[in-house]
Amino acid sequence: MIRRLLSVLHARNLEFLRDRGTLVFTLLLPVTLVLGMGFVFGGPERPLFKVGVLAEQVNRQAHPFLQERYIDFIAQPQESAALHKLTHQQLDLLVDLRPAPRYWVNTDSPKGYIVEKLLLAAAPDARRQPVNGAALRYVDWLFPGILGMNMMFSCLFGVGYVVLRYRKSGFLKRLHATPLSAFEFLSAQVLSRLALILFVTAVLYGGIGALIGFHNSGSILLLALLAVTGALSMIALGLTIAARFSSEELVGGLLNILTWPMMLLSGIWFSLEGSPRWVQWVAHLFPLTHVLDGARAVMLDGAGLAQIAPNLMFLAATAFAFLAFGAWSFRWRIE
């Protein structure tokens, strides 16, 4: 079995590496993503401080500090919510300028350090209350989503159309006349695509990291484990679609039906917190949601294996289930 699997795997890898158009496209996509993200998120930020003011609204005449230029004063009705933002450096300073003024500063924030000096010049008697916490930028939150989206497209379309092409050309029919089983054939396709996806994801991770830097509080090995199980699950999902159909239009349509809801509901671009319960329930049926939830937990909150175990188990179980279903429903030839 291993020998047969390796033969198909080797041939598929050769085919992919020699298909220069596809190879260039596959490698160009992550490079474009890296450059795009560098352009959008890597440029110099505006010289603007964000200071939260504990009040229903900001009256700039109420205190000399509130008249400083180049500072964006933002009203913060709730102290707890404001402190959370300060912890993640979404605010540079939080002030309460009512009688007996006080302020909170994130001691890990360089901007907080500077804007604190400006405050003390205007209100030397203000009472200091330090907090700490690293900055959470949108790019840090978005980064796992970009990796996941690239992985999803490569998994679903890369494998689905290859199998479809093999079936239409009669190559699958020829393989069917050999001792090769459907499970062996599909496993070889999965492993070939998995190796490619891991390589591309590693390039993206390293490239974006080098270009703009990003926040990772957790283990890179856990991220790799998530990438492997997530890619396996999504490749196997692509194979179930391509397992028996022979029409490009049908397979393309089915793959789009899968990818678009995942694009919108898996949390690539924005958090689903606060969305209706049924939306969250549907989102958790998608492998990509579990990849992103797990990756963000590891990267942003430093989650360990125990915390992301449910995501890993979901991905592993769906990978096996999709592969088994694909092998069961597989058609070697056009019916």
Partner 1 sequence: MTAPIIEVRDLVKQYPATTAVAGVSFGVSEGICFGLLGPNGAGKTTTVEIMEGILPPTSGEVRYRGEPIGARFREHAGILFQKTALQDFLTVRQSIALFRGLYAHGLAVEEVIRLCALEKLAGRDTRKLSGGQQQRLLLAIALVNDPTLLFLDEPTTGLDPQARRNFWELVQSIKAQRKTIILTTHYMEEAELLCDEIVIMDRGRIVAQGPPKRLLHEHFAEVLLELPRQEFPERARQLPLNILDASDRVEISTHDLEGTLRTLLEAKVPLNNLRIRPANLEDLFLELTGTELRP
Task: Give the interface with partner 1 as residue ranges (CB under 8 A).
Answer: 3-4, 6-8, 10-12, 14-15, 17-19, 166, 169-171, 173-180, 332-333
Backbone φ and ψ of 332, nearest 5°? -80, -25
Adjacent-strand bridge partners of 49: 71
Q: Which of 239, 236, 229 is nearest to 291 (CA)?
A: 229
Beta carbon of residue 13, minimum distance to partner 1 (angstroms, whole number): 10
Strand order in the sheet with 49-53: 71-75, 49-53, 93-96, 102-106, 127-131
Residues 287-314, buried b or exposed e (16+ Cβ, 10 A)? bbbbbbbbbbbbbbeebeeeebeebbeb
Residue with Cβ nearer partner 1 (127 or 174): 174
Residue with Cβ nearer partner 1 (185 or 245): 185
Residue with Cβ nearer partner 1 (102 or 173): 173
Q: Are 262 and 292 in contact (CB under 8 A)?
A: no
Q: What residue has token string 């957790």?
A: 218
Beta carbon of residue 183, minimum distance to partner 1 (angstroms, whole number): 14
Beta carbon of residue 37, minimum distance to partner 1 (angstroms, whole number): 32
Residue with Cβ nearer partner 1 (148 or 158): 158
Beta carbon of residue 4, minimum distance to partner 1 (angstroms, whole number): 5
CA distance 106 to 113: 8
The contacts of residue 284 (CB under 8 Å, 6+ apart) are 290
Beta carbon of residue 46, minimum distance to partner 1 (angstroms, whole number): 50
CA-CA-CA-CA torsion sign (106, 75, 301, 138): negative
Taking the CB of residue 16, how many other CB atoms lie within 10 A of it? Answer: 17
Beta carbon of residue 171, minimum distance to partner 1 (angstroms, whole number): 5
Beta carbon of residue 153, minimum distance to partner 1 (angstroms, whole number): 22
Beta carbon of residue 27, minimum distance to partner 1 (angstroms, whole number): 17
Residue with Cβ nearer partner 1 (129 or 329): 329
Residue with Cβ nearer partner 1 (168 or 215): 168
Between CA 43 and CA 251, with CA 266 as vertex, the angle to 5 degrees is: 110
Residue with Cβ nearer partner 1 (139 or 186): 186
Residues 97-130, buried b or exposed e (16+ Cβ, 10 A)? beeebbbbbbeebebbeebbebbeeebeebeeee
Residue with Cβ nearer partner 1 (105 or 239): 239
